[in-house]
């Protein structure tokens, strides 16, 4: 092929591409690579809809808190609250990440650097103490504290990240519990694993839990690591609690919902995980 002929062919292909007939190959500079986190993280970090959703949840939490405070038989920890708890001092249990603290900076870092979650990078992020308050979270916690309720932060951040977490939240103005250690991290005690019931049980020994707030099913029920069918059954068994003593904050970026389709098997490749999530979705047949 002569240089003139080759040049004419390239010119013709370019013309067809401009006309929409022949797609030109994408170039790296045309845009960032596709990433599963993009839309969910964009919604959480930039949308007014997410902010409105959070404010709605915490407004409801404040209303339910007032109801619970006046109703001595009310408990937000029905599986752990035992015995005569009616006259115990009031408390609220809250998860930390994506319930009270916004960690979207870490999500965006993973997305832009094509990384997945690791304990090493997550701990480094926690140490920066740069997480911000979820809209409405600080105001709710201050309100509950002003009414005499102790706020217990039951988080699956690791015990080594406890001091940084406390300092981050103290800087933002969250109630610190006075002379009571209200931060309960994962692996801080031998029986404090990813499931949170053992930590809720510690709180209920001395307090009546009015509300439980979280962004993941596991913040309320230890059945969160089951299959999708098992999770649905556990949810249905407790559906009446949501919006009453259990308040859920939306988090589409990560959680047990995301790992359930591939059986919470983190040894699977990213491609296998994505395929499993793709395969469980139901589609319009067209």
Residue 81 reports pLDDT greater than 80? yes
pLDDT at residue 212 in the model: 98
88 φ/ψ angles, rounded to the nearest 5 degrees: -70, 155
pLDDT at residue 145 in the model: 98
Q: Are the beta carbons of 181 and 158 closer than 8 angstroms?
A: no
pLDDT at residue 23 in the model: 52
The mean per-residue pLDDT over the stretch 112-139 comes to: 97
Residue 61 reports pLDDT greater than 90? yes
**218 Cβ contact partners less than 8 Å away, ≥ 6 residues apart:** 194, 195, 196, 224, 225, 255, 256
pLDDT at residue 30 in the model: 79
Please choose, from the candidates 39, 93, 53, 43, the residue with its C-alpha nearest in 3D space to the C-alpha of residue 249: 53
The mean per-residue pLDDT over the stretch 102-114 comes to: 97
Residue 64 reports pLDDT greater than 80? yes
Confidence band for 24, pLDDT divided at 50, 70 and 90: low
pLDDT at residue 189 in the model: 97
Residue 14 reports pLDDT greater than 60? no
For residue range 166-215, what is the model confidence (pLDDT) as tens digits? 999 999 999 999 999 999 999 999 999 999 999 999 999 999 999 999 99
The separation between CA 184 and the C-alpha centre of its own chain, rounded to angstroms, equals: 17
The mean per-residue pLDDT over the stretch 136-150 comes to: 98
pLDDT at residue 3 in the model: 45
Residue 225 reports pLDDT greater than 50? yes
Q: Where are the domains of the chain?
A: 35-266
Residue 159 reports pLDDT greater than 60? yes
Confidence band for 31, pLDDT divided at 50, 70 and 90: confident
Evaluate whether the domain defined by 35-266 bears CATH number 3.30.460.80.
no
pTM for the whole thing?
Answer: 0.89
Tokens of 44: 């959480």
Residue 29 reports pLDDT greater than 70? no
For residue 277, the tally of other CB atoms under 10 A from its CB is: 16
Residue 165 reports pLDDT greater than 80? yes
pLDDT at residue 4 in the model: 43
Compute the distance between CA of residue 214 and CA of residue 191 in angstroms, rounded to an integer.
21
Of all residues in the chain, what percent carry a pLDDT higher than 70?
90
Residue bearing the bigger pLDDT, 16 or 92: 92
Compute the distance between CA of residue 275 and CA of residue 254 in angstroms, rounded to an integer.
17
């Amino acid at each position: 092929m002569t240089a003139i002929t080759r040049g004419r062919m390239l010119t013709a292909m370019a013309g067809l591409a401009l006309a929409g007939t022949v797609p030109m190959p994408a170039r790296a500079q045309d845009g960032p690579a596709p990433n599963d986190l993009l839309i969910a993280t964009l919604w959480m970090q930039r949308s007014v809809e997410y902010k409105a959703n959070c404010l709605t949840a915490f407004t409801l939490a404040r209303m339910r808190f007032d109801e619970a405070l006046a109703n001595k038989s009310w408990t937000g920890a029905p599986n752990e609250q035992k015995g005569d708890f009616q006259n115990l001092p009031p408390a609220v249990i809250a998860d930390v990440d994506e319930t009270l603290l916004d960690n979207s900076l870490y999500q965006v870092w993973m997305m832009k650097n094509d990384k997945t979650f690791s304990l090493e990078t997550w701990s480094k992020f926690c140490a920066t103490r740069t997480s911000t308050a979820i809209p409405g979270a600080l105001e709710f916690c201050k309100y509950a504290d002003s009414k005499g309720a102790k706020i217990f932060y039951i988080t699956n951040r690791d015990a080594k990240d406890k001091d940084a977490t406390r300092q981050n939240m103290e800087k933002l103005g969250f109630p610190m519990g006075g002379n009571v250690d209200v931060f309960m991290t994962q692996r801080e005690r031998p029986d404090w694993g990813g499931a949170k019931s053992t930590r809720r049980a510690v709180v209920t020994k001395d307090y009546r839990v009015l509300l439980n707030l979280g962004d993941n099913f596991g913040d309320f029920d230890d059945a969160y690591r089951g299959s999708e069918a098992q999770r649905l059954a556990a949810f249905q068994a407790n559906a009446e609690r949501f919006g009453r003593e259990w308040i859920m904050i939306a988090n589409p970026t990560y959680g047990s919902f995301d790992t359930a389709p591939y059986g919470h098997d983190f040894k699977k490749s990213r491609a296998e995980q994505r395929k499993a999530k793709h395969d469980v979705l139901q589609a319009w047949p067209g």
